[in-house]
Amino acid sequence: MAGDADDGLEDDRTGIAAMILRLRRRGITDRRVLAAIESVPRSLFVPPDARRDAYAERALPIECGQTISAPGIVGQMTAALEIGEDDRVLEIGTGSGYQAAVLSRLARRVYTIDRFRTLVEAALSRFRTLKLTNVVTMVGDGMLGWPEEAPFDRIVVTAAGDDVPAALKEQLRPGGILVAPVGPADGVQRLLRLTRTEAGWEETDLADVRFVPLIPGKAARL
């Protein structure tokens, strides 16, 4: 009904405004990043029974035992990437598609991989709803990256491993930035920013985080 739709839009506007204010208070002030996040309705990317909590500052469960990261983490990771308008970005872990949708507002093209076909198909449907034309998806092993499209200007990993996979580091161009959580699946992890230089790697520790584990291979089911 029209009234229900209007209520939903108003909830989105209120939730987005509160979320942007929290991001500013966390020190995320890049106007392009805030505008990108503001333009993506997070409620579209969460299960129907979680929509009232879509803009809350916490991770929410999605299909296949995965999660959509809290808005603050999405904002922090996006800001740390320092994406330029002409950049090509690789995302490991499509999940709901929310992070990729935000990235698509900033980059020339986004390549996103997930091991779960169910998640990729659902994300594709959301991208179509938002009329996003610069996001390319693949069902595959994220730990191997996307060598056919490398090198990338930016890489973001949304699941935690004991270390950043060597294949991903190899697919980042010199001067590029990679952001990933690193640490044990059952403990606190570190969110790292790696910048590839001519001499090697510059590493910055951004925050303590908790992410789902980075698992090799494609899912046999789902």
96 catalytic? Reply is no
Which is the catalytic residue, given 43, 69, 96, 104? 69
Rounded distance between C-alpha atoms, residue 96 and residue 12, angstroms: 18
Sign for the CA dihedral angle at 175, 86, 98, 82 comes to: positive
Rounded distance between C-alpha atoms, residue 35 and residue 39, angstroms: 6
Report the alpha-carbon angle 130-109-116, nearest 5.
Answer: 70
Rounded distance between C-alpha atoms, residue 77 and residue 71, angstroms: 10
Phi, psi of 159 (to 5 degrees): -145, 155
Please list the active-site residues: 69
